[in-house]
A and B are shown apart, each in its own frame.
Chain A
């Protein structure tokens, strides 16, 4: 295998590296030239080196339906994705703006509900939502922030413009893979790093630690921070352990914690030890069997009450998921205007709300052209890809939409941008999305770039690792004379 950009054809899609066969974009010209200069043997060696690195470093993820084999190697493509620093600076500001507005909205929903009185959004859409937690009404979390860690999915359309696809405010995952992808790329392509000014991503764990520490109810130099994991069988266990390790925080399971007198403690070799901040990686409903799902063995009885009393901080706060809903998503541009009095920097994908009669009629009449998404699923499950679906599948979705219009949203199929991956015999274009991570505590922080997920199957739009997706290192690259973004 040797790469020849002349025979690389992105077709009608926006390819981020190659404009048209043989013509790399200026920002990726060095990368394209370098890759073309590698002969077959060199490319094979690089591929092998990357696989070995992933195996040795133990970068893995878990697949639910996999039965025995719970731990799989992380699928990774060698060719980095490149984003210009100037474009990124705008995107970064757009993401910060979005998360600020989302936090204002969540705080408002649980404190005052001005947004309903001003008729910005129909209260029924929120109060009937599966993610609205009546138990959280009246709570004032520190800094009035509910969603401390947000993973917002971005896509590029056929013109290369970034659009927001969704906001993940519950327990977004993937950041450890972003960090590990960079480590692997450094091992495999050290020579590339000499010729590019690539913004580092490694400070994420430090930023995360500082943000979590800023939530501590006790004012002390070393607040006790714990990462709460459902355990080794969770698909993101690698990440939980990774983040705890990089932050020097304790990685705890529900059974490691105990609540006494509304204080949270860990069981340690020296007895019980107080916990200040919990970065919880389990869903609201499993947090506390005394308040939510009584069947939950993952959670800690009394945890919610301890949080209510302000004796422990939870990130993200219970109830933050009320804004992680594909219908609420369609209102985010309105929230930005309403709460911040600013124009949205990053546009949404145009969306049809099935709860609205005229929009629903349009959706039902155009199911073969639209993507239909349930409001509350994640991981790409339960979607209808209209153009590729069978007539029977479309009928099934029409039935579901009519039965529960509130639960569905439809969007035109956006022609996702492509980037090259190293295929068996040549470089081939594949569709990608991007998940940057946004932190908000006392201050905010956005990862430079984020996790690029790539659909490894030709023509596919499904980028989820649980469904055959892979990932790429993502470089935010400074050109001549660019200032460091955010500084």
Chain B
């Protein structure tokens, strides 16, 4: 497989997954804010922070309110909106058509046009929800087509790696924001303690929902939703396909299909071992945000190694 093609496939998968995650996030966040007793504790600013695009946002918008956020994340021409990500995914797909199943390309192409035409739906809540759900469904469908029609060779390995790393990254951001909010609330003397438990529950439930993890979580953890269990589930659960560790495992499983995978395998393994041996109850007490920062540094290193090993032109 050509290095250039491998790189584009990898990015196509990342962009698709990122578009799906952004849609999930926006959807859940809209609903969460309706549920919160005190809307000042959690604001749209937090959503900007999860996407990691605060700097770009403040350059283009004055207020972090619902309308601006929805526009920013749905249709803004900058690189973080769903429509921009899908345009990128399509551009990458267009240049790798020869190795992709035709129906998957057609799916991406169609979704791209849909997102372009759905820009106006950002302002209206119900139209927006419908749009976001369509994006989520379509991304799932496209990955389904890839899974159903691609040989399990190098090409598919890059699809899986791109998707898994993107997922791991996004889940870790969700956990991060949840944790930071939790601390802010616990330390906030103005927050009425009687709300704290309810508030916590709602917050963590939303985190789970954004990852379609609520049902699986309930089956796995049979007690009241609480931060410690949720963090543990989203970071450490090997069986749940959106959990961080599961995604790292996915990467290490596809690596044997690729030549020269030594360095990447070592880095993935390092991240897995560190994650496995971190003790969540302790972390939730203190140090979780630092732990997540560290994890994200690991993800970046894995990405760099992937890029160095397979994408950079070598003579």
A residues at B contact (CB < 8 Å): 55-58, 71, 227, 232, 241-242, 244-245, 249-253, 255-256, 258, 260, 266-272
Contacts and interface: CB of A to CB of B under 8 A. Distances in A.
B313 A268 contact: no
Interface stretch (B105-113, B126-134, B165-173): B105-113
Most-contacted residue by chain A among B2, B109, B310 (CB, 10 A) = B2
B207 interface: no
Given A55-B113, A241-B97, A255 B4 contact: yes
A251 B100 CA distance: 12
A269 B313 contact: no
B212 interface: no
A52 B274 CA distance: 51
Nearest to A255: B313
B109 A250 contact: no
Contacts of A270: 1, 259-260
A267 B2 contact: yes
A56 B98 contact: no
B66 to A, nearest CB: 31
Interface of B: 1-6, 91, 94-95, 97-100, 102, 105-106, 109-110, 113, 154, 258-260, 309-310, 313-315
Given A244-B98, A245-B99, A57 B106 contact: yes
Consensus secondary structure, chain B interface: helix
Nearest to A247: B98
Contacts of A266: 2
Given A56-B106, A267-B314, A270-B260, A245 B3 contact: no
Nearest to B313: A267
A71 B100 CA distance: 19
A258 B4 contact: no
Given A56-B109, A270-B259, A245 B97 contact: yes
A269 B154 contact: yes
A253 B110 CA distance: 26
Given A232-B94, A255-B313, A270-B259, A58 B4 contact: no
A268 B94 contact: no
Contacts of B310: 269
12 contacts: A56-B106, A57-B106, A58-B105, A232-B91, A244-B98, A245-B99, A250-B5, A267-B314, A267-B315, A269-B1, A269-B2, A270-B259
Contact of A250 (B2, B105, B106): B2
| 7 tightest Cβ-Cβ pairs between the two chains A and B | A245-B98, A270-B259, A244-B98, A269-B310, A58-B109, A241-B97, A251-B98
Contacts of B314: 267, 271
B158 to A, nearest CB: 8
B94 A241 contact: yes
A227 B2 CA distance: 12
Contacts of B259: 269-271
B113 A269 contact: no
A256 B2 contact: yes
Contact of B2 (A58, A232, A268): A268
A267 B309 CA distance: 12
Contacts of A57: 106, 109
A238 to B, nearest CB: 8
Nearest to B310: A269
Given A56-B110, A232-B95, 13 more contacts: A241-B95, A244-B98, A245-B97, A245-B99, A245-B100, A245-B102, A253-B4, A256-B2, A256-B3, A267-B2, A267-B315, A269-B260, A271-B314
A272 B4 CA distance: 13
A223 to B, nearest CB: 17
Most-contacted residue by chain B among A57, A227, A251, A266 (CB, 10 A) = A251
A371 to B, nearest CB: 37
Contacts of A272: 315
A245 to B, nearest CB: 4
B101 to A, nearest CB: 10
Contacts of A251: 5, 98
Most-contacted residue by chain A among B1, B100, B260 (CB, 10 A) = B1
Nearest to B311: A269
B313 to A, nearest CB: 5
B255 to A, nearest CB: 12
Given A255-B4, A256-B2, A270-B260, A58 B98 contact: no
Given A255-B313, A269-B259, A241 B98 contact: yes
B106 A58 contact: yes
Given A55-B113, A58-B109, A255-B313, A269 B99 contact: no
Contacts of B260: 269-271
A262 to B, nearest CB: 15
A249 B98 contact: yes
Given A58-B106, A255-B313, A268 B1 contact: yes
Contacts of B258: 269
Contacts of A249: 98
Given A241-B97, A245-B97, A251-B98, A268 B109 contact: no
A271 B97 CA distance: 22
Contacts of B110: 55-56
A258 B314 CA distance: 10
A227 B95 CA distance: 13
Contacts of A252: 2
Contacts of B99: 245
Nearest to A266: B2
